[in-house]
């Protein structure tokens, strides 16, 4: 989440300095709060919000919950997390649907905030839940706004109502009113009305938006705000709240590299919850806003719940069960590997998914250097193989690999690396499927973990290594006869015989102590030597 990247880095550095302290003094708390204040102000968070936030953090940090904590630094992080959740709205707020359809949702905001694209994202998200949304093109002012909405609706696979060409032609209030009637006739249970915006707040914009609201009486009015707008976000939000009023906020362009902290102030200053967040240009880059999860991302604590939800939406449960069975029975093929890669791509950006992991801030450089097109290149290599080669990778000799490399526009080295990765993945997942713990390269074995099977014990090569030819022959003959060979000259006593029958300290011949030979072994040896 690039918008809050700098804020995350600053806060992480602040908490890092706390971890070396076993007990926090008032000076330590004041220093930490001062750094948090600077980080929030640098991120463009409104001054009023910063004062309230840091005041509550300081009050709680100096209280008993920190002084009596086993780990004061972690307790301070928890306090900051709690207060961040509060300024982000506290609880998640869901859409409220009308008891009698259609549910009418009106979008409002400045021009360039991303209302039209958001209308398509919201419609597609609702369609996945079984709704039948209708997009209404009531933005008749911006050039080609109607055409853009029609294109977005087609991409999202939803219906659109656009009776007017736009570009300054038509009455937006009438279009909005007629759009609701059209939805009733065509049995659409949700109506999303895209309204016009301006480059800045003006009386004409507010009058038109207020007239549309009065005409259609929407169940939800969503204020769409650009997360990169800066300090002007607060003034704009208050102007729309006074002129039109809104029931919820949608943050767009959270994938940008601006400071974006002003967007965090909107919920706190307007008293209206942030309901959705747009995290990219694609129609699937859209998600419900969870204050607790967003706070976790900002503090680099991860967002595992959202990651799981995305995985559940992209992966088919029956298919996953079949793949697990293939892992267990060692029948996993490159075709299955390709299917898993494609499902992974359907989850969205790999970088975004990795950024949801706890501690992802420490991997920022690696994430930035990751090439999303690697999956496409992998698909090309596998698709250049024959059906037999995919099911039996052992057939891939040098000439076949050269043909595959030419067919996929890659090198033989890349083909070799893919096959190697596939074999490692199949081996690791087979171990996991059998209840073991894979030995991940570079990490070493995990203490106490099983590895899906008994380790192979290397058997020592049998045979004497003595430098004395006569003794070597005697030892080898004794081994062949099933008799334990006697010690070699290296362990012999200074007074031992030439055959290395060392008696050891305090050992007596024939007693079998201290590693010496027993009477039976001595008799067998005498017999073998012909004595």
Annotated binding site for GTP: 109-116, 194-198, 252-255
| Residue keyed to tokens 């029956």 | 318
Distance of CA 357 to the CA centre of its chain: 5
Query: What is the bridge-based pairing of β-strands 190-194 and 220-226?
Result: unpaired
Q: Of 454, 429, 448, nearest to 440 (Cα)? A: 429
Do you find a cis peptide bond into 124, omega within 30 degrees of 0? no
- For residue 103, list its beta bridge partners: 190
- The span from the CA of 183 to the CA of 418, in Å, is 51
Q: What is the phi-psi region of residue 463: left when phi exceeds 0, alpha when psi lies from -120 to 50, beta otherwise?
A: left
| Residue keyed to tokens 């920190």 | 66
Determine how many CB atoms are found less than 10 A away from the CB of residue 234: 24
- The span from the CA of 495 to the CA of 502, in Å, is 8
Do you find a cis peptide bond into 102, omega within 30 degrees of 0? yes
Give yes or no for a contact between 347 and 310, defined as CB atoms under 8 angstroms apart.
yes
- The span from the CA of 227 to the CA of 223, in Å, is 12
- The span from the CA of 293 to the CA of 253, in Å, is 18
Give binding residues as ranges. 109-116, 194-198, 252-255
- The span from the CA of 39 to the CA of 7, in Å, is 6
> 194 in helix, strand or coil?
strand
Question: Cα-flanking dihedrals φ and ψ of residue 222, to 5°?
Answer: -100, 125
Q: How far apart are the first and last CA of the chain?
A: 88
Determine how many CB atoms are found less than 10 A away from the CB of residue 213: 22
Residue spans of alpha helices (H) in 43-171: 47-61, 64-67, 72-87, 115-128, 145-156
């Amino acid at each position: 989440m690039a918008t809050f990247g700098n804020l995350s880095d600053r806060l992480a550095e602040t908490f890092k300095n706390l971890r070396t302290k076993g007990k926090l003094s008032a000076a330590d708390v004041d220093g930490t709060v001062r750094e948090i204040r600077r980080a929030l102000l640098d991120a463009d968070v409104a001054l009023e919000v910063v004062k309230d936030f840091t005041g509550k953090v300081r009050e709680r940090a100096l209280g008993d919950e920190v002084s009596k904590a086993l780990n004061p630094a972690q307790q301070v992080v928890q306090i900051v997390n709690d207060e961040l959740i509060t300024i982000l709205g506290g609880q998640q707020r869901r859409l409220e649907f009308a008891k009698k359809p259609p549910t009418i949702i009106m979008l409002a905001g400045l021009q360039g905030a991303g209302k039209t694209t958001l209308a398509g994202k919201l419609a597609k998200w609702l369609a996945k839940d079984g709704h039948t949304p209708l997009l209404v093109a009531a933005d008749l002012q911006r050039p080609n706004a109607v055409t853009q909405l029609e294109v977005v609706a087609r991409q999202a696979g939803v219906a659109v109502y656009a009776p007017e060409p736009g570009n300054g032609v038509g009455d937006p209030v009438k279009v909005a009113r007629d759009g609701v009637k059209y939805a009733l006739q065509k049995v659409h249970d949700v109506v999303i009305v895209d309204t016009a915006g301006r480059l800045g707040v003006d009386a004409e914009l507010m009058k038109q938006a207020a007239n549309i609201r009065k005409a259609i009486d929407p169940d939800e009015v969503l204020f769409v705000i650009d997360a990169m707008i800066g300090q002007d976000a607060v003034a704009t939000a208050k102007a729309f709240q006074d002129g039109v009023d809104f029931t919820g906020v949608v943050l767009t362009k959270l994938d940008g590299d601006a400071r974006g902290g002003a967007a965090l102030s909107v919920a706190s200053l307007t008293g209206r919850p942030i309901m959705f967040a747009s995290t990219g240009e694609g129609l699937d880059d859209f998600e419900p806003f969870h204050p607790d999860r967003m706070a976790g991302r900002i503090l680099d604590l991860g967002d595992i719940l959202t990651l799981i939800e995305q995985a559940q939406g992209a992966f088919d449960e029956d298919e996953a069960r079949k793949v697990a069975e293939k892992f267990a029975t060692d029948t996993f093929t490159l075709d299955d590997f390709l299917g898993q890669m494609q499902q992974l791509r359907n989850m969205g950006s790999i970088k975004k998914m990795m950024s949801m992991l706890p501690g992802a801030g420490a991997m920022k450089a690696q994430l930035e250097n990751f090439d999303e097109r690697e999956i496409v290149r992998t698909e090309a290599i596998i698709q250049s193989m024959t059906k037999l080669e995919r099911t039996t990778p052992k057939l891939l000799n040098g000439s076949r690999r050269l043909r595959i490399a030419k067919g996929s526009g890659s090198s033989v080295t890349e083909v070799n690396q893919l096959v190697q990765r596939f074999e490692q993945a199949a081996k690791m997942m087979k171990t996991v499927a059998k209840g073991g713990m894979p030995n991940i390269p570079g990490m070493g074995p995990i203490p106490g973990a099983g590895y899906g099977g008994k380790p192979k014990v290397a058997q020592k090569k049998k045979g004497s290594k003595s430098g004395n030819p006569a003794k070597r022959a005697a030892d080898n003959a004794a081994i062949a006869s099933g008799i334990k060979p006697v010690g070699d000259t290296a362990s012999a006593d200074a007074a031992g015989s030439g055959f290395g029958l060392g008696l050891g300290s305090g050992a007596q011949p024939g007693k079998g102590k201290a590693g010496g030979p027993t009477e039976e072994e001595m008799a067998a040896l005498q017999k073998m030597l012909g004595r």
